[in-house]
Structure formats: C-alpha cells, structure tokens
Amino acid sequence: MVSLLLKMNIINNKGVKNMLKYIPNMITLTRIILIPVYIFYFSKGNYTFAGIFFSISALTDFFDGFIARKFNLTSRLGKILDPLADKITIISILIILTVLDIIPGILSSIILIRELFILTGSILAYYLGVKNVVEPSKIGKLAIFLLYIALAARILNVELIGMILLYIVIPLNIYSGVKYVVGTWHKIDFRRK
C-alpha cells in the first residue's frame, strides 16, 4: 500500500507523510500491548493462543523497523520506543517461559542479565549526556531475530530447533551486548561539568 502511494507520488505530500510517519511507532506500541495478552494465555495454559500472539508480537519487531527505514519514516521516538519494546517483550517472555519450565533457567538468566544490563546502561548513558542513541548492531538484530524464532519453536514444541537456536543466541547476545556497551561508553563525554 505504502509503495503504491510512493509510486503515485501521493506520499510525497507533506500532510500524508506526516500521518504515515506514525505507522512504525503504532506497530511498536502494538508489540507492547500484546505483552499482557500472551502472558494471559500462557498463565491459562493455552500455549497455542499464547504462541500466536507472541509470534504476532515478534513480527511487529521486524515490520516497524523495516517500514521506518524503507520509507524514511524513522523518528527519535521510534529510536527509543523500539528498543524499549524489545527489552520489555524479551524480559516478559523469558520470565514466563522460565516459570513455566519451557526454557532452562540458566539460558534465560544469561539473556535476562544482558537485557537488564543494556537497559540500565542506556538509561545511565542518557543521564550522562549521550545525545545520540547507539544503534543496535546487525549481530544484535540477528540475535533478537533468532531468539524470537527459538522461543516460538519452544512454545510450539519444536524442541530440538528451539534448543539449538537458544545455544546459538547466547554467544550472539553476549557479543552484541558488549559491543553495545562499548559503543555507548565511547559516546559519553566525561569532560562535562
């Protein structure tokens, strides 16, 4: 639809483009809204619906960024909201899957520690004056993508694929987390008064 509008030169109209710029953020907000939905279904033991809503949530993570980059609809809010939605989604799903014994606690703990470390570091960096958000690396994006697939596989009882992917995700998560922290560290201006 958006590509059709681009071809018809309708999207270049400033008013239309201003309206469309909110689409990626609305998709990101959908990811946040879906969190209590799939947690509810997990808590009721309905893993099928929980898996469906979690999968929809995972897809929004792909589409919000894709649409924002493809159609130049990136925004400062989106650069903050998207990683925040990722963290909240990942933390919530890991906690519920660990409590339900769907994934091993040690794997969940490693990923949770990394996510909480990055979230805390991002907040501290903001208060220390980092003006530009450190962009997630391609390795970080791949790790999140594989994590979503691994968790969906575990939810849908595709045990072997889910476990293999989880063990691939762990080193990718650690590497991308260290890279993110180092990138943020270099942006901090310690000479500030």
pLDDT at residue 160 above 50? Answer: yes
21-39 pLDDT, tens digit per residue, is 789 999 999 999 999 999 9
Cβ–Cβ under 8 Å, residues 154 and 162: yes
Q: What is the rounded (10 degree) CA torsion for 80, 84, 86, 92?
A: -170
* pTM score of the predicted model: 0.79
> Token pair for residue 155?
């939810």
Domain boundaries 2-187, corresponding CATH code: 1.20.120.1760
Closest CA to 53 of 38, 41, 43, 32: 38
pLDDT at residue 105 above 50? Answer: yes
d(CA 91, CA 88): 5
Closest CA to 2 of 24, 14, 26, 20: 20
pLDDT at residue 40 above 90? Answer: yes
Least confident residue range of 6-15, 94-103, 144-153: 6-15
pLDDT at residue 193 above 50? Answer: no
Angle at 171 between CA 170 and CA 174, to 5 degrees: 90
Closest CA to 82 of 169, 140, 4, 153: 140
